[in-house]
Amino acid sequence: MNRCNIWREMKALCEKAGISPQKVFPHNLRHLFARTFYSTEHDIAKLADVLGHSNINTTRIYIITTGAEHRQKINNLHLIL
């Protein structure tokens, strides 16, 4: 299966799911995989290997968290009254 086939299948799934096809790209799937893998393994070196990155800084781009995610984690610590 090549990139064009994946692209076509993803766009077809968008229509069935009621999602705008302009928001879905094969690379988004790669980002979702990376974030999901990292959330279970917590091993950026292993993730870099799986994604084929020679530099871990490239891999970091896939797992950067937002300010809202940071706030939620801090709130979950229950250290601030």
| Secondary structure of 17-80 as H, E, C letters | HCCCHHHCCHHHHHHHHHHHHHHHHCCHHHHHHHHCCCCHHHHHHHHCCCHHHHHHHHHHCCCC
Residue ranges for the chain with pLDDT beneath 70: 81
Other Cβ atoms less than 10 A from the Cβ of 49: the count is 13
pLDDT the model gives residue 15: 86
| Residue 7 placed within a domain | yes
Determine, yes or no, domain membership for 81: no
In this prediction, residue 28 carries a pLDDT of 87
User: For residue range 30-50, what is the model confidence (pLDDT) as tens digits?
Assistant: 999 999 999 999 999 999 999
Whether 26 maps to a domain, the answer reads yes
- Give domain status of residue 15, yes or no: yes
Task: Provide the domain count of the chain.
Answer: 1
Give the per-residue pLDDT at 81. 66
Helix (H, G, I), strand (E, B) or coil at 2: coil
Residue range(s) defining the domain that contains residue 30: 3-76
Is 51 a member of any domain? yes
What is the pLDDT, as a whole number, of residue 80? 73
Contact criterion met (CB below 8 Å) for 2 and 22: no
